[in-house]
Amino acid sequence: MGKAGIASVAGLAALSWVAAAQAQDAGRDFCADRPGKGSPPCVLDAGRFQAELGVADGAWSRGGGVSTDDTAFGAMELRLGLTSTLEGQVSWTAHERIRQKDRTSNEVSMINGVGDLGLALRWSLKNPAGDGVSAALQPFVTAPTGAEGIGGDAWQGGVIVPISLPLNAAWSLALSPELDVRADADGSGRHAAFGGAVGVGRSFGPVALGVELWADRDEDPSGHVTSASFDLTAGWTPASAKDLQLDASAYVGLNRDTPDLEVAVGLAKRF
C-alpha cells in the first residue's frame, strides 16, 4: 500500500473514531465535577474534552486566638475522555494565598504560591453517563509542585469510589467514599486518611441544587484530625448552552478543625 493509501486509511479511521464519539455524546448529558466536595461517577465520551475552573474560593477560620483567611484563584481541572468508560484528569491551582493573624499580638504571616499538581483516572464500573445506578473507580496521585506551606511537600495519593443512585424522578443520592495515603507532618513516613461526601440533589429545569455532608479523618501519628462540613451547592446550565455550567457553593464547618465558612464560584465547559 502506498503513502496515499495509508493516509486514506488513517484518515478514515480517525473520522470513524470521531463519529463514534459524537454518536455516543448525542445520548450523554453534560456532567461536571463542580460544584461540591464529592466526585460524580460520570465519564466523558472518548475524544471529548472538558475544562472546569474555580474562579474564586475563599475560606475563613476564627479560633484559638488566630484568624486565617485562605483564598484561591484559578483552580483548574482538565478532563479528557480516553474511552467510552475511562477518562483522564489533571488539576492545578494557579494561585493561593493564606493569611494568618495572631489576634493577641497582631502579628500577621502570609504565604502565596501555586498548588500541587493532581493526576487522576476515572473508570466507570456501571453507567458511564451517570444515569440510573452509576459507579466508578477513581485512583489519583498528587505531585508536590505547590509552594511551601500550600502544597503537600510529598507525593501522595488515594482512591475515590463515586456512586450515584436515583431516589425518584426528581431526587438523586450521591456518595464518594475515599481512602488516601498521606505524608506524615514530620516527613518521616506516611499514614492513612479516609472520608468522603454523601449528598442529595434535585434539578429544577436548568438549575441543579444539592445538599451534602463531607468528612475527612487524617490519621497522622503526630495527632489525628477530623474535619467535617455541611455543604450547599447550585449549578446553572443555560438553555442556549448545554455544554456550559455556572456554579456556586457554600461550605459550613461543623467543628474547630474545619474552616468556619468557605464560599466558591466557578464554571465548567465541555468541548
In this predicted structure, which of 25-39, 82-96, 136-150, 246-260 has the lowest mean pLDDT? 25-39
> Is residue 7 helix, strand or coil?
helix
Strand-strand pairing, 190-204 and 49-63: unpaired
pLDDT tens digits for range 32-80: 999 999 999 999 999 999 999 999 999 999 988 899 999 999 999 999 9
Confidence at residue 55, expressed as pLDDT on a 0 to 100 scale = 98
Residue 92 half-sphere exposure toward CB, CA atoms < 13 A: 12
pLDDT tens digits for range 71-104: 999 999 999 999 999 999 999 999 999 999 998 8
Query: 262: Cβ–Cβ under 8 A, 6 or more apart, which residues?
Result: 57, 58, 59, 60, 229, 250, 251, 253
Cβ-in-10-Å burial (0-12, 13-18, 19+) of 132 comes to: exposed
* Predicted structure pTM score: 0.87
Confidence at residue 75, expressed as pLDDT on a 0 to 100 scale = 97
pLDDT band at 28 (very low <50, low <70, confident <90, very high): confident
Residue 178 and residue 192 in contact, taking contact as beta carbons nearer than 8 Å:
no
pLDDT band at 116 (very low <50, low <70, confident <90, very high): very high
Residue 206 and residue 237 in contact, taking contact as beta carbons nearer than 8 Å:
yes
Residue 35 and residue 248 in contact, taking contact as beta carbons nearer than 8 Å:
yes
